[in-house]
Amino acid sequence: MTQPRLGPALAFLGIGLMGKPMTIRLLHAGYQLTVWNRTLSKADPLAALGAQVAATPGAAVRGADIVITMLETGTIVREIVERCGPELCRGSLLIDMSSTRQSEAQALHDHLAIHGVAFVDAPVSGGVAGAEAGSLAIMAGGSANNFTRAEAVLHAMGRPTLVGPAGCGQLAKLCNQLIVGGTLNIVAEALLLAQAGGADPAAVRDAIRGGFAESRILEVHGRRMLERNFIPGGQVKSQAKDLENVLLAATAAGVHLPFTELVTERYRSIVRDLPHADHAAALLALEQLNPGQRLGNLPDRLPD
């Protein structure tokens, strides 16, 4: 006798740096899950955990109640959704957890509505560690009804918050990335200044922790900078893309963000040579502006 299925059937498209631990959280939560990735071999570990692996996006979403996308850009999300075509069930819900432009999320919402598919944009913050721990900050844009449909699934991966209508999840993520990117650069400047002025930068970091300068960036990425560990959690290319999208959102909203322009330029200066380095590589961009100044004496740890 066939056991009744518990919960909605899920499809997950995109098994990358973040997608893999997110799908593992869903499998551990007991969801029936079908996965797809351009490089199918990346899905092999998930098959061992009980996921079904599909050869095409259309095959993955066939019969799914909820489809989750975690892809590199909004253009790719739209391409993959269109490849799914009629296999994307009328009445299903698509949750895009990629980081895209607000305008791209709004356009995808409108496109799917024509075909009777509900939409929530739900980008995340917390990096690979947060995905592994199921503690991601999840910023959701959509109707209250659609958020309610998505909420239990999102809770398996982190802490979801509805921040407004479709597209506002992406706007919240851009606000998050603005704060992260700006703070990374400020921490880099503080540590380099401490050393250049004759102080022990590690001791300065310890001294100011617990005061008003305390932050997760100072804790995690300040240590990364001192250790010159640029093996990625978040990547320079992703931070650069997000900051470019912040500037586009600012233009659309009619506001001028001069500090964001400066931070974006710092990431532009290293994105070609260090696209896969951790975004704490803001330190390396700063050192390029200061010939002869280098934080500490450890060798750089960079991705292959």
Catalytic residue positions? Answer: 173
> Please, is 120 exposed, middle or buried when counting C-beta atoms within 10 Å of its C-beta (0-12, 13-18, 19+)?
buried
In this structure, are residues 65 and 92 in contact, taking their beta carbons and an 8 Å threshold? yes
Among 83, 121, 78, residue whose Cα is nearest residue 99: 121
- Cα–Cα distances (Å) from 227 to 198, 230, 280, in that order, read 18, 9, 11
Instruction: Report the C-alpha gap between 259 and 243 in whole angstroms.
Output: 11
**Residue 40 neighbours by CB distance under 10 Å:** 14
Burial of residue 187 (number of CB atoms within 10 Å: 0-12, 13-18, 19+): buried
Q: Is 120 left (phi over 0), alpha (psi -120 to 50) or beta?
A: beta
SS3 content of the chain, % helix, strand, coil (to 5): 55, 15, 35
State phi, psi for 290 to the nearest 5 degrees: -130, 75
At 245 the three-state DSSP class reads: helix
Kindly provide the residue ranges of all beta strands, DSSP E only, lying in the chain, ordered along the sequence.
Answer: 9-13, 32-36, 52-53, 66-69, 93-96, 118-121, 124-125, 136-141, 158-164
As given in the structure block, the two tokens for residue 269 are: 């200066």
